């Protein structure tokens, strides 16, 4: 799979993509990440990418021409397996089912918003999706794009070891319905805090029951929204 990222901060991504799963997947040729500087599609002396909002208001917006030119140059043909995503605070929430859908694509182009926003014609006529990563205010789409790439990359065939991916499938790792159960490693007692006794014995039926109950309790406490309850 190929990712393309259009940004005014191309150097931003050397950090997030230089480590762990995403870095190794790139080295193994399982995915490509192409970073594009939006200013490459400006033609004035100051390489202007922003302008003031019609109707007045605070701050500046990303103007449409460089974004349309960039996307049309990077993905000249539009097909069912080549999609464009605008990362914006006004988008639909990015979720694990969306990550699975994106993992089927050949090319995914991510547009990173900046300033106070992006001219709405980009969302309406250029991007296939407009997504937000959560209900909080970021200063731009770059961190959001890095998170989206990470979430999609780990779903690509071969990116996680065979052992892990098949195990996760059968155990339903990508279960959005409930939180993972609490887990412990050695020592069995740390600063007086003991690992639950049941996990130290070898009764696998009992362990399974404990884990299910612990998952439910933790979900109820920290994510009542997942249980059909209120926030």
Buried b / exposed e along 145-156 (16+ C-beta atoms within 10 A) = bbebbebbbbbb
CB of 16 or CB of 117, closer to ligand 9D3: 117
Identified binder of ligand 9D3 from the candidate list 46, 56, 76, 137, rule CB under 6 A: 137
Burial class (CB in 10 A: 0-12, 13-18, 19+), 25: buried
Q: Detail the DSSP E strand segments found in the chain.
A: 2-7, 32-37, 50-51, 61-62, 82-93, 107-112, 129-132, 189-190, 193-194
Identified binder of ligand 9D3 from the candidate list 103, 116, 165, 195, rule CB under 6 A: 116
Size of the site for ligand 9D3 (CB under 6 A): 16
Nearest distance in Å: CB 208, ligand 9D3: 37
- Tokens coding 175: 């279960």
Each residue 70-89 as x (binds ligand 9D3 by CB under 6 A) or -, in order, gives -----------------xxx
- Tokens coding 12: 């931003």
Q: Does the footprint of ligand 9D3 cover residue 16 (CB under 6 A)?
A: no
In the complex, the residues that contact ligand 9D3 under the rule CB under 6 A are 87-89, 113, 116-117, 132-134, 136-141, 144
């Amino acid at each position: 799979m190929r990712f393309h990222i259009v940004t005014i901060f191309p150097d931003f991504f050397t950090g997030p993509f230089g480590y762990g799963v995403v870095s190794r997947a790139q080295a193994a040729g399982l995915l490509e990440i192409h970073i594009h500087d939006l200013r490459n599609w400006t033609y004035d002396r100051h390489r202007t990418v922003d302008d003031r909002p019609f109707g007045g208001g605070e701050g500046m917006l990303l103007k449409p021409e460089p974004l349309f030119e960039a996307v049309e140059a990077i993905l000249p043909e539009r097909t069912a397996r080549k999609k464009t995503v605008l990362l914006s605070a006004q988008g639909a929430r990015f979720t694990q089912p969306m990550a699975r859908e994106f993992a089927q694509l050949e090319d995914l182009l991510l547009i990173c918003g900046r300033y106070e926003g992006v001219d709405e014609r980009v969302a309406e006529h250029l991007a296939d999706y407009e997504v937000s990563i959560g209900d909080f205010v970021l200063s731009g789409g770059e961190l959001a794009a890095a998170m989206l790439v990470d979430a999609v990359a780990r779903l690509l065939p071969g990116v996680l070891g065979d052992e892990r991916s098949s195990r996760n499938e059968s155990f339903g790792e990508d279960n959005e319905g409930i939180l993972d159960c609490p887990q412990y490693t050695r020592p069995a007692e740390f600063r007086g805090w003991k690992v639950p006794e049941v996990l130290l014995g070898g009764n696998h039926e009992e362990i399974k029951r404990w884990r299910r109950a612990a998952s439910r309790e933790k979900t109820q406490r920290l994510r009542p929204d997942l249980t059909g309850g209120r926030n």
